Structure 1
Amino acid sequence: MNYTTIVLSLLFFLFGFIPKEVQAQMEPVTDINKKEEGYLLLDKGLQFRITDAINSMYNFDFEKAERGFNVLRYTYPEHPLPYFLMGLSQWWKIVIAIDNKSHDAAMLGYMDKAIEKAEVLIDTDPDNKEAAFFLAGAYGFQGRLYSERKNWTSATFASKNALKYLELSRGEEELSPELLLGDALYNYFSVWIRDNYPLLKPIMLLFPKGDQQLGLKQLEEVAKSSFYARIEAQYFLFRLYATEEKKPFKALEITKYLNSKYPNNPYFHRHFARQLYAVGRGREAKEVSLEILKRIDENWTGYEATSGRYAAFFIAQNYDRMRNYENSIHYYLRTIAFGDELGAQESGYYLFSALQLGKNYFRQGDKSKAKRYLDLVKEYSKRRHPANKEAREFLKKNKL
């Protein structure tokens, strides 16, 4: 978690190519004031039509999602919604491998376009709550990405704009479940950042202080009652329950639901395995993790080294507990390989895998390999790290 999460996070994703025969049957709405009564965001018919596309996106079936959302872009070319969704599609590609910057420019560009379209609406009608909603959301996601990249100046600017338009979007009762996510994240993380990032306190003085427990309750409400923001709220909830709130069983409940609803989403899949491991259900974590590795080997969309590192480690740990050292060595080696692919040699998964490899090779009588991996722990960790300390003690005790 970081400064990213003080900002708004809503809606869902992806556009692509529309076949000509589909275009021929479509009538674009160039005057968005002539659409159905009320805001497009509140159009129940639209919600019904795009539900399948949204679910497809979350299930990483991007081709199907793109077909559904592209119809919306063609039908409402002057509305910010299509461009907002296009930006969010890039965001989920980023989430699954957060260090991959290849989608950054596209995501920021789409959000800029959503901002441009929404500004036209709000210039025409300053009381347009829907336009303010999209401005808050687009700036919010930009701030979220900038903070992931540690571009604090841009993150602060975008976040201030998100909060400004969040205030302007209030007052429309039917929009409140969607807008509540922004309030919830702000309330929780404006306090969290002050407590955990002292160097950012001067920046946080630019913002009003929130209410952390209120923010948590608001997130729970959004997770129950929102249409567009429900899954995003659940995404934040399970992360908070797993880390800040120290409620691993609540986190497990949410990740189990998300994995069952979107079984092909690698992010939800790996966090379900992680929560099973966290609550001591190692055998189940192993079975879920074996499926993750299988999908990586079969090149499923979004299944990559980060998921593989988690999965291989959980499997290795289960075999260790069973004293099946031959199999545990195999999966610790896979954890190391995934860590090398990611350049994540200083992570706990990498260091404790190397530590266990050293111990297990020693058990098998291979002192040369044992020393190699114990030395690897020393190489990539600081002296005060628990894995480093344990490696040094093991080397000394066994005269390696």
Structure 2
Amino acid sequence: MKEAVRTTAGDTVGAEPLEEVVDNPSGYLLLDRGLQFRITEYVNSMYNFDFATAERGFMVMKHSYPDHPLPDFLIGLSQWWKIAPDMENERFDKRFIAYMDSSIHKAEKLIKQDPENKEAAFFLAGAHGFKGRLYSERKAWTKATFSGKNALKYLEMSRGEEELGPELLLGDALFNYFSVWIPENYPLLKPILALFPKGDKQLGLQQLEDVSKNAFYARVEAQYFLFRLYSAEEKKPYEALSITEYLHNKYPNNPYFHRFYARQLYSVGRSLDAMESSMEILKRIEAKQTGYEANSGRYAAFFVGQYYERIGQTKSAKQYYQKAIAFGEESETQESGYYLYSLLNLGKIATKENDKAAAKKYFKDVKKYAKRKHPAHQEARDFVKKNKI
């Protein structure tokens, strides 16, 4: 590589200088194990929602490597994890976009100096990809499409260097899986994907597993993709549970991992464990712990309500279904499944208690907020018809 960034024995990031690492022939900062060792505390702090510690370390790193995209990318990633528990909250959007744009700008300079720089392509793919994820959440479809196209372009450029280490393998993994998954699920994007070689979903999953076990920076992001894919796409709930349990145990203050751990416990039928984990979420919301908010509360309260209904404690079940509804209204997510099924279950309980007026209102609200093709809408219609409500 002509202009590869190399570290020296004098570089320090929140620790005493280490001897120069000699097993990094690429010269890529991303693969410098000495640097990884020095910033482990800060990366772990970010995922454990101690953002003050994480960003303090990343800013020192930015001072040490002012022209490299890695520090800006990590500070941007820190903003992303502030957004992740509640995607409706736009408070951190501008800061997130600014740092990802700065990472893109610095990576573009590196790739201009050396068009074969796989590290620069990795950061360009990652930063554009994260921006695309946020834009899609904000329904800014033109921006999302533009960012997605750039991410795919640079993912293709960063491929084929797995021998350099698992960090860069994440690009191969995501390309292999999503270049097949996107056309299957979003036919309108097929023309864009036609410009790129077709991937291999199973190989992509294997590569994600490799990254999730062996990478440093990319490990948790690979685990995030894996548990989401195993849960929603691959229908492997126990594999998803294993990952979410690991992530929750390692980063116990991360509300996103906590929420999905409770969800996976619920999905595999471990209702008591799901209830206990959910009660802890509700306690943390009440204590105003960082990142614990109404979106997590909606999940947690529903799982607790389900548990109490199953053991016949109807009064407690009603209480927590009402909490789920209140959290849904607070987060303005009335179209979500947990909100709708809380209404539906309250309607069924009211019917059993011969309170037809209350039941009628609950079922009316289900039909008000659910699209007609939503299963909750269909179930409400069928129940009302069968019970003549």
TM range (shorter): 0.7 to 0.9
Which stretch has the larger CA shift, 206-215 or 264-273?
206-215
Residue 83 of structure 1 is matched in structure 2 by 72
Decide whether aligned partners of structure 1 residues 26 and 73 sit closer, same or farther in structure 2, where only a CA change above 3 A counts: farther
Instruction: Give the superposition deviation at 1:321.
Output: 0.5
Equivalent position amino acid for 1:362 in 2: T
Instruction: Give the superposition deviation at 1:168.
Output: 4.2
The answer to whether the aligner puts 1:162 opposite 2:162 as a matched pair is no
SS at match of 1:100: coil
Instruction: Give the superposition deviation at 1:84.
Output: 1.2
Which stretch has the larger CA shift, 67-76 or 165-174?
165-174
Q: Distance in 2 between matches of 1:256 and 1:293?
A: 18
Deviation by residue 1:139-183 (Cα, 9 ceiling, x = unmatched):
232233233334344334333333443444456566431111111
Residue 234 of structure 1 is matched in structure 2 by 223
Decide whether aligned partners of structure 1 residues 127 and 192 sit closer, same or farther in structure 2, where only a CA change above 3 A counts: closer
Deviation by residue 1:308-340 (Cα, 9 ceiling, x = unmatched):
111000000011111110000000001111111
Equivalent position amino acid for 1:219 in 2: L
Equivalent position amino acid for 2:334 in 1: Q
For structure 2, list consecutive stretches of 5 or more residues without a partner in the other structure: 1-11, 18-24
The answer to whether the aligner puts 1:318 opposite 2:327 as a matched pair is no
Q: Distance in 1 between matches of 2:162 and 2:368?
A: 58
Q: Is the 8 A contact 2:170 2:218 kept in 1?
A: yes
Equivalent position amino acid for 1:148 in 2: E
Q: Is the 8 A contact 2:158 2:171 kept in 1?
A: no
Deviation by residue 1:210-245 (Cα, 9 ceiling, x = unmatched):
111111111111111111111110000011111111
Q: Structure 2 residue aligned with 1:145, among 109, 116, 134?
A: 134
The answer to whether the aligner puts 1:262 opposite 2:251 as a matched pair is yes
Q: Distance in 1 between matches of 2:236 and 2:346?
A: 31
Decide whether aligned partners of structure 1 residues 270 and 95 sit closer, same or farther in structure 2, where only a CA change above 3 A counts: same
Instruction: Give the superposition deviation at 1:396.
Output: 4.4
The answer to whether the aligner puts 1:43 opposite 2:32 as a matched pair is yes
Q: Is the 8 A contact 2:160 2:172 kept in 1?
A: no
For structure 1, list consecutive stretches of 5 or more residues without a partner in the other structure: 1-21, 28-35
Q: Structure 2 residue aligned with 1:183, among 144, 167, 172?
A: 172
Q: Structure 2 residue aligned with 1:206, among 192, 195, 201?
A: 195
Equivalent position amino acid for 1:60 in 2: F
Q: Structure 2 residue aligned with 1:56, among 45, 59, 71?
A: 45
Q: Distance in 1 between matches of 2:370 and 2:344?
A: 11
Q: Structure 2 residue aligned with 1:306, among 295, 300, 325?
A: 295
Which stretch has the larger CA shift, 347-356 or 122-131?
122-131
Deviation by residue 1:48-106 (Cα, 9 ceiling, x = unmatched):
11101111110001111122222111222222222111211111122221222232222
Q: Distance in 2 between matches of 1:382 and 1:136?
A: 36
Q: Distance in 2 between matches of 1:393 and 1:155?
A: 39
Q: Distance in 2 between matches of 1:172 and 1:189?
A: 19
> TM-score, with normalisation over the residues of structure 1?
0.85
SS at match of 1:349: helix
Decide whether aligned partners of structure 1 residues 329 and 130 sit closer, same or farther in structure 2, where only a CA change above 3 A counts: same
Instruction: Give the superposition deviation at 1:384.
Output: 4.5
Q: Is the 8 A contact 1:170 1:176 kept in 2?
A: no
Decide whether aligned partners of structure 1 residues 378 and 114 sit closer, same or farther in structure 2, where only a CA change above 3 A counts: closer
Decide whether aligned partners of structure 1 residues 147 and 99 sit closer, same or farther in structure 2, where only a CA change above 3 A counts: same
Q: Distance in 2 between matches of 1:84 and 1:211?
A: 28
1:381-400 equivalent positions in 2, closer than 5 A: 381-400=370-389
Q: Structure 2 residue aligned with 1:249, among 214, 238, 247?
A: 238
Equivalent position amino acid for 1:151 in 2: A
Residue 88 of structure 2 is matched in structure 1 by 99
Higher relative contact order (CA 8 A, sep 6+): 1
Residue 334 of structure 1 is matched in structure 2 by 323
Equivalent position amino acid for 1:197 in 2: Y
Instruction: Give the superposition deviation at 1:359.
Output: 2.1
Residue 19 of structure 1 is matched in structure 2 by none
1:216-231 equivalent positions in 2, closer than 5 A: 216-231=205-220
Equivalent position amino acid for 2:185 in 1: N
Instruction: Give the superposition deviation at 1:393.
Output: 4.2
Decide whether aligned partners of structure 1 residues 173 and 277 sit closer, same or farther in structure 2, where only a CA change above 3 A counts: closer
Q: Is the 8 A contact 2:122 2:171 kept in 1?
A: no
Q: Is the 8 A contact 1:133 1:166 kept in 2?
A: yes
SS at match of 1:243: helix
Residue 7 of structure 1 is matched in structure 2 by none
